[in-house]
Structure 1
């Protein structure tokens, strides 16, 4: 496989995963802001910008953070790379470059998602934002299903590798930002607002039902952290994503005969994650742990590019 083809497939996976994640984050933040017992207001939308690392780009726009301005910025604003529409545009561009490697179902899902924004969509009201992100999620699920029905070869492995690397980054950033959001003055830890914010995380990673299956003692921050760090049963956990990266790199290395630093780095990371105990991480510093993971994930991404000569 040509290096540029491998690169397009890998980035296709990353951009589709990122678009789906941002859509889910917007959906969860709308619900936190409008449907909670005590609406979170500006703080919730500032945190959404922090998770997506778009604070500076938003500040440059001159707008004040609110449901209308941030939801529009993260969904339909094509002026920066951190919006759903920008991610889908990049995904479609990469998909066009490898069109013959994709099935009709996979291409159609990407194209339909992109067409959602082609004629412009208003997200000025919560119902508009929820309707749009639900359509994006639907097409992202359609793409993922199509990939899993394709031949299991280097084409699908590169797409899934991109998705797994992106998923790791998204989950780590989401958990890190929430853990460092200060509650409004007078709000107790474990109170209504705090519980709503942790529930928002579960909605963003589609894990509300999974949490109830895995933990029987109610919603607690420690359990949410444990699930997102260590539970391999949850596809969006750091443990599951790191395992998947190791598996996919092994398949690709055997098929392409291209072995290198990415394989070694991924295996070493997976071994450390498997030994991780959430209680120890909380005591020693969750923020530091997650920041180190994010940096290592960036290093792994660069190593993958070198190993497969993405350029």
Structure 2
């Protein structure tokens, strides 16, 4: 169960006690408040609080650019202009606080984005639940033979069963030993801060993660990408759906210019111009390395 009984009770109380407000409200985001969107086998993402909307981005931009911009482009057009020209400050006027439940190994990858405020569940003070991420069979894959940090062919049959059994057995054994070492029920045992070191990286943790929209877009650009690791990508995709409801104009621009767009180097742009003039450009005449040329061909294919 992604949410504990106490968390569900807390959410139910908050949902039945709405408050009137004079602050800007995003109708699309309101429907996500206190709703846990399930991710993986035991994880979730839920919105705890947010600040701002598309109008807040426009408001901040017009403070910088002056009232004259109102006459030359509508709000959506201004937001697209800001995104297109990498004017990031107005997007920082919006913030969101998320409650996320995720496997520890995903959390350690996630925390590399150091532009957010984080408060994580502490196993120094509390006992972690017996919940582990066990991949679905279709997500069990061998190491890629062409990418040192990617997955290759999906495991099947006896090999898939063998790996799943190892994952389940090791996780259960580690947790059994964790419980056996704890200082509880009259047993002297180990302090919680020491006993936790025996837990596997697929055990679930939780945190509150607060971030502004500019840095959230940077996170999503990397982690919602098709090349990102599956286990963090599904969290990013869930957050994408939430952000699309929260700031639809900003997310539309982000989807167009970042998720669906590409950046070309000066050499790549020169090759495109030469191709448009009818020149037969090859890797040898492009000025690019073999790796760059391979990526360039994939981009324009």
* TM-score of the superposed pair, with normalisation by structure 1: 0.23
- Structure with the larger strand share: 2
Larger radius of gyration: 2
* TM-score of the superposed pair, with normalisation by structure 2: 0.23
